[in-house]
Amino acid sequence: MTDTALASLSNGLVYAAMLTYAIAMVVFAASLAARAPGRRPLAEPALGTSRRQGGVGVAVRDAPVPARSPVVQPAPGRRGGNIAMSLTWLATLLVGAGLVARGLSVGRVPWGNMYEFSVASAFAISAAFLVLSLRRDLRWLGLLVVVPVLLTLGLAVTVLYTEAGQLVPALNSYWLIIHVAAAIICAGTFCVGTALTVAYLVADTSERRVSRGSRFWGSGLARRLPPAQRLDAMAYRIHTFAFPLWTFAVVAGAIWAENAWGRYWGWDPKETWAFITWVGYAAYLHARATAGWKGRKAAVIALVAFAAFIINYFGVNIFLTGLHSYGGLPS
Amino acid sequence: MWARWAWRTLTSMRTALLLLFMLALASVPGSIFPQRQTNAAAVNMYLADDPAKARILDRLGMFDVFGSPWFAAIYLLLFISLAGCVLPRTRQHWRAIRSRPPAAPKHLDRLPDHRELVSPSPPEQALAAGAEHLRAARWRVITTSGTLSAETGYSREIGNLVFHLALLVLLAAVALGSLGGFRGNVVIREGTAFAASSAQFDSISPGRLFSTTELPPFSFTLDRFTADFQRGGQQAGAPRAFRADVSLIASPGQSPQQRTIEVNEPLEVDGVKVFLVGHGYAPTVTIRDGAGDVVFRDSVVCLPQDAGFTSTCVVKAPDAFPQLGLTGFFLPTATVDPSRGPYSRFPAPDDPALFLAAWEGDLGLDTGRPQSVYKLDTAAMRRVGIKALLPGQRWTLPDGSVISFDGYVRFAAFAVARDPGKELALAAVLVAMAGLGLSLSVRRRRLWMRASPATGGGSRIVLAGIARSEHASAASDLDRLAAALHSSRPSPTPAAPPLHGKAAP
């Protein structure tokens, strides 16, 4: 039933992808660092003088921060960013090919255990990032995306690795295709949403500190980010896509559960944490419309909700026992 | 006055947010501690291991989080808050839908997002062209002399309200299911039958409004249970296929039909579903007394303990004299490990064996205290020997009784369930998802247009727009409207370019 040649080809492709991502990560990091402080003297002297003259930060803060303007970018970081983006495309194609090979080797969808789910999620994170990058320049986000992708793949090939094989009967259902595929796309979009949220918090902190005269926060990574307000809007938009999809994933799981176990909701640990994740992201969306909770506080809620998603993804399978414990992990 | 304050506080967004946090936080212990509803055995183990701590946890409701009063308090407050917020907003939005878009502000050019352009058409004609373009794009438009107001995206708030109202329906559906539904578990050995009546269930949890007489009078016999397991490789022993072949008698007097029940394919009879939830082995044991008379003969359900189906067995022979009890293991593929002792290394019956300990004395069945069939109370018994048996082998005890291991059958565990709320729950959830999609994708925008006669013919036009939802802008709507006004000019002479277009910063 299992084609071993295809299965080992799949493993080789995943390793090749990891190597490519690792190089992309280094190049992304280097291109962020390439823009050393002091290379953009436009804003800083003004800031410095305003502080030295005892000027309060308010006036500066309200002024546009020219260091962030995406229009005037110097060349060195740019070329590195382009190389890293190309490497990310290549690595994503390699992971995608690895998934296809795995699927062909076992004659089913390639997300039947934790290993396959993780590889598919890494593909989804990367693909979500690349799809977004088609419409706007996202080279500054690359590092924040490639790092979780590499971590996911690293966990997959070490802790979670499972040989290519057939499904346990519990997973033998077309709902595996629907429910788990939705969960995988959610993993991708939530992760990119989290990267954007982290970028927003960094940019926001940087803007506040720079307005108070900090030189450190006006340098390095923080300076290459778009304005905080734009990052906030981008993070919000991707979450408004991911949240309904997560709702769908949970509902599809409930329909499957009704068909497999006779109840659509039973507070199994996986269901409980899916619920906590859902409530967390619902709180994020509500916080954005609540006075006193907009901005940073809402962003922190999104991060907490993502933590619940990660607990649901790894923690429940590894540390808690329940009906969803068919991840293929040795107990 | 006080009540008004309390209501306003409860229905505020801030309170709703707080209640959402509490709901998430309150769910966490439900995944950490074993729950009575799903795993009563684990709860009992917890109680036995650390009674002092467990009793406190039990009193706090930690073993029944989702049925506890404090959990109910949180979600009921949340739903009241939700209703108190959504119902007034529904009335408000109903009025907004029926009212006309608001009249244009006096100085459109003071709005952050505006465009100024000139058109060769006279003002009335330009306004008509603008109105036509907007109506085609499904805007609601009203024109007065010289101005036009338009609004679109009402479905955003409709979606939002529908989503929240559907959640209220979902809560009702869940309540309906738990009150009017039931769930029962039953273990059936190959060759034996089950009739759907409350007496035949091993355990049953009916809803408060459910009477077991509502069960359809079906019965079925488990003819054969098949299980396939992965052989070889890293995942050796992983299940690959389970299948129960049954003869179903849908109602008394009907002839039996051959049906199969598999893991994701339950059997459905008159709104009741039968699910395959487990399986195992039932070795057949015969006990004869010293005179050779049969005092016990049955296939005994043994409870699987691990992935290799090392299963614990208990046999009680109250008709023997003195009473006889057996405890032990059924091992489908028997192996003896020097440190671990006997266990089964593979779940399929490749090399079955029965390891037994025999006990004589009083089984304690006459005390009136309820006893589990899976446990032997050895308080008043004495162990008289231990023995490993292969199928067909016999074991003679010191008093002359003979125990024989005749073979085994398989058993299957089924869950029988009915949930009268599930269709409503599904409908509510589908409506909620549709509402959610609308509320997160539609943007609500308002546009205004003012046209006044320009010196030398044509008209001066000012367009302005605002978006009424987060992170949205009316800029692209203004651009489209401006483009439409250019393309719909009446004369063949090209229109003047926009005087000046300014987007919001």
Q: What are the structural domains of chain B?
A: 2-95 (no CATH), 101-153+443-502 (3.30.310.80), 182-418 (no CATH)
pLDDT (0 to 100) of residue B8: 84
**Predicted confidence (pLDDT) at residue B505 exceeds the cutoff of 50:** no
A261:B275 CB<8 A: yes
- Mean pLDDT, to the nearest integer, of B21-47? 86
Place of tokens 């390793």: A15
Question: Searching chain B, which residue's CA lies closest to the CA of residue A259?
Answer: B264
Q: Are residues A250 and A274 in contact, defined by beta-carbon separation less than 8 angstroms? A: yes
Q: What is the pLDDT of residue A222?
A: 67
HSE, CB side, 13 Å, CA atoms: give it for residue A131. 11
**B56, burial (CB in 10 Å: exposed 0-12, middle 13-18, buried 19+):** exposed
Q: Which residues of B touch A243 (CB under 8 A)?
A: 436, 440
Amino acid B493: pLDDT: 45
| Set of chain B residues whose Cβ sits within 8 Å of the Cβ of A247 | 432-433, 436
Domain boundaries, chain A: 4-69+78-319
- Which of A145, A133, A21 minimizes the C-alpha distance to A87? A21
Confidence of residue B354 (pLDDT cuts 50, 70, 90): very high
The CA distances from residue B395 to A72, B55, B326, B438, in Å, are: 91, 45, 12, 73
Q: What is the pLDDT of residues B426-457, one digit of tens each?
A: 999 999 999 999 999 888 899 999 888 888 78
**Spatial distance between the Cα atoms of A283 and A289, rounded to a whole number of angstroms:** 10
- Select from A169, A263, A288 the Cβ nearest to the Cβ of B242: A169
Q: Which is higher by pLDDT, B169 or B236?
A: B169
B89-139 per-position pLDDT tens digit: 999 999 988 888 888 888 888 888 888 888 888 888 888 888 889 999 889
CB pairs under 8 A between A and B: 134
Global ipTM:
0.84
Q: What's the gap in Å between the CA of B270 and the closest CA on chain A?
A: 15
**pTM reported for the whole predicted model:** 0.85
Q: What is the structure's pLDDT at B368? A: 74
Inter-chain touch A168–B307, beta carbons under 8 Å: no
- Residue environment code for B12-22, b if the CB has 16+ CB neighbours within 10 A, otherwise e: bbebbbbbbbb
Across A52-56, B327-331, B458-462, B500-504, the highest mean pLDDT is recorded for: B327-331
Short-list A29, A11, A20, CA closest to A220: A29
Q: What is the pLDDT of residue B267?
A: 93
Query: Tens of pLDDT along chain A (331 residues)?
Result: 567 889 899 999 999 999 999 999 999 988 887 754 443 434 433 333 333 333 333 333 344 444 444 444 444 557 788 899 999 999 999 999 999 999 999 889 999 889 999 999 999 999 999 999 999 899 889 999 999 999 999 999 998 888 888 888 888 888 899 999 999 999 999 999 999 999 999 999 888 888 887 777 766 566 778 889 899 999 999 999 999 999 999 999 999 999 888 889 988 888 999 999 999 999 999 998 888 888 899 999 999 999 999 999 887 877 776 655 554 444 3
Taking the C-alpha atoms of residue B136 and residue B54, their distance in angstroms, rounded to an integer, is: 67
Summarize pLDDT for B215-261 with one digit per residue, the tens.
Answer: 888 999 999 999 988 888 777 888 888 999 999 998 888 899 999 99
What is the number of H-type helices and E-type strands within chain B?
9, 24
Name the residue facing B37 among A267, A286, A290 (closest C-beta).
A267
